[in-house]
Amino acid sequence: MRDGTKVGYQRIGPRVRGVVMAVLSAAASSACAEMRQIMRNEFASYRGAWFCAKDGCALGQMQRSTAAHREGDITVNHGDVGAGAALAFSVGKSPKTFTATVSDCKGKTVDVPAEDILQPGNHGLAGQSDAWVVRVNPAKLPDLQWGKGCKKWMVTTQATWDKGSTWEQKGGIADK
């Protein structure tokens, strides 16, 4: 006490202390669950995006994006999205399922067709033989807005494993 006033922890009432402790406990529990999942090798990470120089190129002809920016903890790669893009995601151990959605700048989301989600070793993307690849092309996703003020899409993948654990990983693509 200084000059008869309480300082620091003593000023906080018991109700507020309880709420603070509950929030800290929940955050620690969540972090521990994520760490357990990582230790079981059940995770996915975003490796980057590759873009076509012209419409209809094969995955092996795509060029890796060398320009990107960060939005929080999400990397958004820059390239010619209109000609097609491929986003690579690595996983620890092979998931039971691997799905993806794409959302536009207006918040509309659509599922990526199963034929555009390629397993490791089945895609030919240079240097990424062990990665899952999600192909994205505005011509194949007409429900999403592209151009006219909407020049960025976010791809969200979700991997699941046998024990029911899931991992969601995001990556972004934007016109250069």
Digit-coded pLDDT (tens) for 38-84: 666 788 999 999 999 888 789 999 999 999 999 999 999 999 998 89
**Is residue 6 predicted with pLDDT exceeding 60?**
no
* pTM across the whole model: 0.79
Give the model confidence (pLDDT) of 12-37 as tens digits. Answer: 555 655 555 555 455 444 456 566 66
Residue 9 burial (10 A CB sphere; 0-12, 13-18, 19+): exposed
Which strands make up the sheet holding 97-103, listed edge to edge?
68-71, 74-79, 166-175, 152-160, 97-103, 109-111
Span 130-148, mean pLDDT? Answer: 92
Overall CATH class of domain 42-175 = mainly beta
Q: What is the mean pLDDT of the chain?
A: 84
Rounded distance between C-alpha atoms, residue 112 and residue 156, angstroms: 10
Instruction: Give the residue extent of every domain in the chain.
Output: 8-38, 42-175
